[in-house]
Amino acid sequence: MKNTRAGRAKSKLLSLLASGAAATLIVSGASLGSVATAAHAADNPNITVTAEPLVTVNGRGADTKDSLTVWRAAALNFKWDASNANPQPGDSFSIGLPDEFKTRESIQELPFEFQGTSVGKCELLERKITCTFNDAIRGKINIHGEGRALLTAQKATTSGTSTFDLNGKVTPLPLPNNELIKTVGNGYGPWTFGKNTVSIAYNATRVHWSLGFGADFVAKALGRTADGSTQTISFIDTLSGPEHTFDD
């Protein structure tokens, strides 16, 4: 048996997000005025970062009430406040992840905006998120905002909390439903049929899909008899997302 057509869907980033790919990091902010200040460039421990209990998310990045298991995704919703930090260009705040989590993907530069203006960039490493202000922050006061980062659970836990480093403050955060992260063993089962891809990257323009199927399942579904002879079947893949096309 063979798959007679394999496709690669490509789309603009907006279409990817609109069709279900979850944004890995979203950070926003607000400013309530400005004042003249002198510039300096250094880490700013006076920027406070707080976070809510983690929540399990589905493939579209939407919150669910599911328990969190290894290799499933969770959302970290956090708030940052630089109102009393006098932030300057080059100042940053960061979030360090515990061993049981990693970011969904490593990205060197993501936009960091509020009120339609770029005020810096955020960098995602496997175990750390850092957001750094640029010159647009100069002179602003009462600056604060919020963010949402998607993480992947990579280890089981022995407690219902995980310890994060919120800009220098070690903070235990409740896991989804205050439950442990568990490893789920599915056991053996005959393969049926599936279409899969890896996580869609932030700036991806192509998606590589894989079709997997069990010969016994397909033979039964199509009413074929496995008699030792060579037989050919075809799969027709249909793309429904806006601006998605096959890259032949």
Residue-wise pLDDT for 127-145, tens only, equals: 999 999 999 988 887 888 9
The total of other beta-carbon atoms located within 10 Å of residue 201's CB is 17
What is the C-alpha to C-alpha distance for residues 243 and 164, in angstroms, rounded to an integer?
39
Residue 233, pLDDT > 60, answer yes
Could you give the angle at the alpha carbon of 71 between the alpha carbons of 68 and 74, nearest 5°? 50
CATH node for 23-178: 2.60.40.1280
Chain-centre distance for alpha carbon 78: 14
pLDDT at 16 over 90: no
Q: Which of 71, 60, 53 is nearest to 20 (CA)?
A: 60
Give the pLDDT score at 198. Answer: 65
Instruction: Tell me the residue type at 4.
Output: T
Nearest CA to 165 out of 18, 37, 43 is that of: 43
Q: 17-31, 108-122, 197-211, 214-228: which has the minimum mean pLDDT?
A: 17-31
pLDDT digits (tens, 9 = 90+) for 50-100: 999 999 999 888 999 999 999 999 999 999 999 999 999 999 999 999 999
- Confidence at residue 38, expressed as pLDDT on a 0 to 100 scale: 39
Helix (H) / strand (E) containing 79: strand 73-81
Q: Domain spans of the chain?
A: 1-21+204-248, 23-178
Among residues 127, 52, 125, 73, which one has the least CA distance to residue 96? 127
CA distances from 222 to 5, 216, 233 (A): 18, 10, 9
- Three-state DSSP at 120 gives strand
Cα(7)–Cα(2) distance, integer angstroms: 14
Task: Select from 28, 38, 52, 10 the least CA-distant residue to 205.
Answer: 10
d(Cα 112, Cα 120) in Å, to the nearest integer?
5
What's the rounded Cα separation, in Å, for the pair 76 and 53?
7
